[in-house]
Structure 1
Amino acid sequence: MATKKVLGRGLGAFFPEYRDEDNAGAGESASKEEGVEKSFVKPEDRVNIVLFVPVDHIRKNPHQPRKEFDEERLEELADSISEHGLIQPITVRYIGEKRFELISGERRLRAAKLGGLKEIPAFIREADDEQSMAFALIENIQREELNPLEVALGYKRLLEEFDYTQAQVAERVGKNRTTVTNMLRLLNLPDFIQSALKSNKISMGHARSLITIEDEEVQKKILDKVVEDGISVRQIEEEVRKISAPSKSTGSKKKTEKDPSNDPFYKDISARLRRTFSTKVNVKPKKEGGEIRIEYYSDDDLERILAILDTVE
């Protein structure tokens, strides 16, 4: 039977249980020779240290906000790690039973496995589920490695799974609350627009302009213009006016007569209000007067709208 590797100053120094009974003597001898007995760390103190951890003992972070990894770039990183090793440690938390859970650094972990590494340096951090998710989200945002939808989904999970308010999310990730609200609104976009945003065919600005349009057919037409002709965000507003203009056909005239809200005047007002409040706004004229309906998606979103109204004297 092949002799198992003694980790020495790696996990063996800090996690004595990693040494099997068959190799206990060898482990103790190595420790005494290297003078690492003083480095033993109690289970409750296994934090804020860097250890070499077997990659097979690290499980993925279930709260990881990043879902897509470029395979070509991953292989390039794996080649580099194979040649030079992993220079920057990943971050994990100890979950007992000689196992760790990844907090951040999944790309590096994947590449290390592809590169054939058996163990890699890891910074051990104390974190509960909430902190683990927040750390993973914050690190990816700081590295700008997430696409906007992945960021929005991360915010949504903090809201739903940990009962955060939008203000708390904003504080945690170092953004203002309006930014968080606008990111969350991307999740209300139709799938075809989300797909275009995810694949970088359109920008965040384009997506935010498209979200103010209620008619999906109009959204599709403008999206095609953005992808094919590369029109700017400002040009989208002009395209909305062109596409939304009533047709000269008899059918369109009848529809306009039956529904006063199809009048270009009211459409323009609705568009202006949507831009002001960054949310869906419907203007419905009646025989006498009418109504304005402003949608909001959370208590925080309502407070944001009220703040805008408070600026009006």
Structure 2
Amino acid sequence: MQININKNERMKPMENTDSFNYKHGQLYEPKIAQLHPNPNQIRKIFDQESIEDLKKSILEIGLINPISFSLVGGQLVTVAGEHRRRAFLEIGYETIPGIYVDQHLEEIALAENLQRNDLNLIDKADAIRLYKKLHNYTLKETVIKLKLSSSVPSLSEFLSLCRLPEDVKTECRKNRNIPVSKLVEIAKADDERAMRRLFKTYLKKLDGKNNKKTIRRGTGISGLTSRIYSMSTQIQKADIDSTNENEYCKLLLAIDWLEQVMRNKVINCKSFSVSKFRKNGSMP
């Protein structure tokens, strides 16, 4: 369902929203100020960059899918579509298109989150575990129902991520570069204390590798400088006078190309002054 919203217009708020008699499956425009986040929201971290992209899309083509909302404990709650709710709120709209649901709330929220490609490993594992628990499915039934590409043993290992301590989970949500195989290995530890110790050890090793990469990058620049000096020496020793016209033209073109690369990549890249090096005789 696509609901086009003109970027120059503001949606009209629904009258008497508090006492409105909502019906399951019907489309409404609840006031955003009255909508509360789902307390059982699987996704714990919302990327502001993705919200900004969503805002641009809404302003350009409108809202493609309405949110799902419900009335829980006397409050309107966003069942699915927290990203869209936040985007509408930041744009400045007073209402948002939403479908009212009064049954299978957790299943609806889980289904939508599991369909998202950007769901991190931890939240995805928690969502699958909760889905399995809600329906009392076996691992095999969960694989079939969710149409997962993983095998039963693989799913069992993946769900072991749910055993990780909450502080470790929080770090994993922030750092998406940690491979699932490493997290599964950590989750196999006997207790949370051991998991934390293994996780900290892994992060230290990861930091060490990143530092080595930085050092190698610096060494690469030094190596490049040495090769440039070496090439200058070879040019000075070359017998240019004895070369033929074809080779001479090729050499001039190569020098011209090198000059362009050096100017674009190196000379215009940094604002450092090299005059002090010339005075000290550090440059040829």
Q: Where on the TM-score scale, by shorter chain, does this alignment land: which range? A: 0.5 to 0.7
Q: 2:106 aligns with which of 133, 137, 143?
A: 133
Tell me if 1:164 matches 2:136: yes
Aligned equivalents of 1:107 and 1:73: distance in 2? 8
Q: 1:148 aligns with which of 121, 129, 132?
A: 121
Written as runs of structure 1 = structure 2, the 5 A alignment for 1:194-213 is 194=169, 197-198=172-173, 199-212=175-188
Match of 1:107 in 2: 83
Aligned equivalents of 2:153 and 2:14: distance in 1? 45
Contact 1:54 1:120 in 2 (8 A): yes
Contact 1:66 1:150 in 2 (8 A): yes
Q: 1:63 aligns with which of 40, 47, 66?
A: 40
Q: Deviations over 1:46-76 (max 9, x none)?
A: 1223222221232221221001011233234
Q: 2:161 aligns with which of 172, 176, 186?
A: 186
Aligned equivalents of 1:196 and 1:18: distance in 2? 40
Distance 1:92 1:171, change over 3 A: farther
Tell me if 1:53 matches 2:30: yes
Letter in 1 for 2:136: Y
Letter in 1 for 2:90: L
Aligned equivalents of 1:47 and 1:191: distance in 2? 35
Distance 1:170 1:102, change over 3 A: farther
Aligned equivalents of 1:6 and 1:191: distance in 2? 40
Distance 1:102 1:177, change over 3 A: farther
Distance 1:155 1:84, change over 3 A: closer
Aligned equivalents of 2:208 and 2:93: distance in 1? 45
Distance 1:134 1:170, change over 3 A: farther
Higher mean C-alpha displacement, 62-71 vs 79-88: 79-88
Secondary structure of residue in 1 paired with 2:99: strand
Contact 2:14 2:29 in 1 (8 A): yes
Letter in 2 for 1:124: Y
TM-superposed CA distance for 1:148, in Å, is 1.4
CA RMSD across the alignment: 4.0
Distance 1:91 1:195, change over 3 A: closer
TM-superposed CA distance for 1:116, in Å, is 0.4
Q: Which has the higher contact order (CA 8 A, sep 6+)?
A: 2
Distance 1:191 1:148, change over 3 A: same
Contact 1:201 1:227 in 2 (8 A): no
Contact 1:90 1:121 in 2 (8 A): yes
TM-superposed CA distance for 1:185, in Å, is 1.0
TM-superposed CA distance for 1:85, in Å, is 4.1
Greater percentage in strand: 1
Letter in 1 for 2:33: D
Aligned equivalents of 2:208 and 2:166: distance in 1? 19
Match of 2:66 in 1: 89
Distance 1:170 1:178, change over 3 A: same
Tell me if 1:118 matches 2:94: yes
Letter in 1 for 2:51: L
Q: Deviations over 1:216-251 (max 9, x none)?
A: 666654554456548xxxxxxxxxxxxxxxxxxxxx
Distance 1:211 1:116, change over 3 A: same
TM-score (norm. length: structure 1): 0.48
Distance 1:152 1:121, change over 3 A: same
Match of 2:254 in 1: none
